[in-house]
Amino acid sequence: MKSRAELFSIFQKFYAEIQTKFNVSIRVLRSDNPREYFSTSFTSFMSQHGILHQLSCVHTPQQNGVAERKNRHLIETARTLLLHSHVPFHFWGDAILTACYLINHMPSSILHDQIPHSLLFPTQPLYFLPLRVFGCTCFVHTLTPGQDKLSAKATKCIFLGYSRLQKGYRCYSLDTHRYFLFADVTFFEDSPFFSSSESLPISEVLPLPYISLPSDALSRPLQVYHRRHRAVAPPLSLAEVPDDSPLVPPISPTSALSSTDHFPIALRKGNRSTRNPHPIYNFLSYHRLSSSYSAFVSTLSFISLPKSTSEALSHPGWQQAMVDEMAALHSNGTWDLVSLPPGKSTVGCCWVYTVKVGPNGQVDRLKARLVAKGYAKIYGCNYGDTFSPVAKIASVRLFLSMAAMCHWPLYQLDIKNAFLHGELLEEVYMEQPSGFVAQGEFGLVCKLRRSLYGLKQSPRAWFGCFSSVVQEFGMLRSEADHSVFYHHNSSSQCIYLVVYVDDIVITGSDQEGI
């Protein structure tokens, strides 16, 4: 919590998480006597859900011994991690999270040498990353597209713990002041990032400028200036610098840890300026383009996309595209209109518009897609696994090579509204689409049955449906690449299929089977 005012909202999320994970309800809440527990919203929530609120006597912390002992256990473990690795104390939050992770995944003598995580989730396999030394030096392998061959392929970081929602390590770079969540990390556990005599690594020490010194200055002790990760006073102007001040380069006030560094990038980035100091139309030329490509580019620049639903509905072409999309959604049985159950929340939806243009610059069709705002969903509550296998580039090359050498025909397929064929296992409620609210059913919401575009689990649900249907045809899935399917019949004829999300290519010698 950044402040105690967040107590009620965090407790509501915790209550929902307990109900979803363990299918149980909280019966008793025991706490001390801060005023946040006696707010109107908190007390009404407790009475509404039948939770008994037990309080300890004032100035009697021993009555709440379980919480006090666990708090001491976490603090002592975190303090040990910080002091042993010489990590600055402003990383105490990462040390607390790491201490909690280690306690939950290591045998406990109180539990007869059993692991707390295994007792809490007996049916789930205990998987966790190999434990590493907190505060050691590590290198995160960042293969960013667009780098040249001589660019650095790794970033030097400090290891600060483990991710709760991803199977990866939490590493922090002091150069870029950002966190990395990666599994491909090389550790130097015998090399701490911070030495015992420094609060910052050697790379953070500013080099002194080369200046001429008087003869009596050689006997003075050398001063080393560090870059401090806290706000400093604004630099003095040249007129205000005293004559006897040391010649040190100006220090820019930077913050070592931002309170929003752990948020997704969509929440961390601020509003961008709409004014471009160097508009591209002042430097762009079309005179070297071919006639067909020039027509194509001109068509792209000429067509404008609707900025709102009302604007799209006022255009006959866009209106027909939206009607076609709604017809496809209804024909697939994407949702049912129901009343929102108590305690459930809805996700929003929006219309996304695209112009499909042919190679000669002519408009093929106008396309409207209804997309759910899946970014508002909560992991473990209304979505789980999201990964969908895609074909490896080596499999695609081998696939095309076999077709070329054996003179097999190639068939390319694209599934229309592919994600709508995936069965949605989670309980997700969505608002009715803007401009298409059912008449007389204004207060109802859409209970999704199909994996609509925009939901985080849609790619995986679609691939599961496609994989099961293809295997019903008698095809087998490759163990080397799960996106490749094959079939061999008794007459030594074969069929091969490779899928990349919703793009499918089929080849083989069995023309009738294909």
pLDDT tens by residue, 314-340: 888 888 989 988 988 888 888 888 888
Q: Which DSSP string do the residues of 280-333 spell out, in sequence order?
A: GGGT---TTS-HHHHHHHHHHHH----SSHHHHHTSHHHHHHHHHHHHHHHHTT
Give the pLDDT confidence score for residue 451 in this predicted structure.
Answer: 78
Q: State mean pLDDT over 89-96.
A: 93
Give the pLDDT confidence score for residue 272 in this predicted structure.
Answer: 56
Tell me whether residue 315 is in a domain. Answer: yes
Q: Over the stretch 38-80, which tens digit does the pLDDT of each residue have? A: 888 999 999 999 999 999 998 888 888 888 899 999 999 999 9
Most confident of 157-166, 356-365, 384-393: 157-166
CA distance 40 to 333: 43
Give the pLDDT confidence score for residue 387 in this predicted structure.
Answer: 62
Between residues 193 and 244, which one has the greater pLDDT? 193
Q: Are 158 and 138 in contact (CB under 8 A)?
A: yes
Tell me whether residue 437 is in a domain. Answer: yes
CA distance 335 to 375: 19
- Total domains present in the chain: 1
Give the pLDDT confidence score for residue 136 in this predicted structure.
Answer: 95
CA distance 81 to 75: 10
Between residues 62 and 357, which one has the greater pLDDT? 62
Q: Are 353 and 460 in contact (CB under 8 A)?
A: no
CA distance 65 to 184: 41
Q: Evaluate if residue 121 carries a pLDDT over 60.
A: yes
CA distance 232 to 236: 12
The mean pLDDT of the chain is 79
Q: Does the pTM of the predicted model rise above 0.85? A: no
Other C-beta atoms closer than 10 Å to the C-beta of 30 total 13
- Per cent of the chain over pLDDT 90 is 28
Q: Evaluate if residue 384 carries a pLDDT over 60.
A: no
Tell me whether residue 141 is in a domain. Answer: no
Give the pLDDT confidence score for residue 273 in this predicted structure.
Answer: 57
Helix axes 92-104, 65-85, angle to 10 degrees: 120
Tokens 């909280």, located at residue: 26
Give the pLDDT confidence score for residue 17 in this predicted structure.
Answer: 92
Q: Evaluate if residue 232 carries a pLDDT over 50.
A: no
Q: Which of 359, 358, 374 is nearest to 455 (CA)?
A: 374
Candidate from 287-296, 376-385, 466-475 with smallest mean pLDDT: 376-385
- The DSSP secondary-structure symbol of 512 reads T
CA distance 292 to 277: 32
Tell me whether residue 223 is in a domain. Answer: no
CA distance 434 to 337: 15
Tell me whether residue 446 is in a domain. Answer: yes
Give the pLDDT confidence score for residue 269 in this predicted structure.
Answer: 53
pLDDT confidence band for 481 (50 / 70 / 90): confident
Tell me whether residue 222 is in a domain. Answer: no
Which sign does the torsion angle of CA 23, 28, 32, 33 carry?
positive
Question: Measured at the alpha carbon of residue 458, what is the angle toward residues 444 and 23, in degrees to the nearest 5?
Answer: 65
Q: Where are the alpha helices (DSSP H) in 342-451?
A: 393-406
Q: Which residues pair with 187 in a beta bridge?
A: 138
Q: Are 493 and 474 in contact (CB under 8 A)?
A: no
Give the pLDDT confidence score for residue 256 in this predicted structure.
Answer: 42
SS3 154: strand
Q: State mean pLDDT over 391-420.
A: 89
- The DSSP secondary-structure symbol of 53 reads E
Q: State mean pLDDT over 331-355.
A: 86
Q: Are 475 and 508 in contact (CB under 8 A)?
A: no
Give the pLDDT confidence score for residue 251 in this predicted structure.
Answer: 41
Give the pLDDT confidence score for residue 164 in this predicted structure.
Answer: 84
Q: Are 312 and 322 in contact (CB under 8 A)?
A: yes
Give the pLDDT confidence score for residue 300 in this predicted structure.
Answer: 65
Tell me whether residue 320 is in a domain. Answer: yes
Most confident of 118-132, 188-202, 246-260: 118-132
Range of the domain at 481: 305-508
Tell me whether residue 353 is in a domain. Answer: yes
Q: State mean pLDDT over 414-441.
A: 80
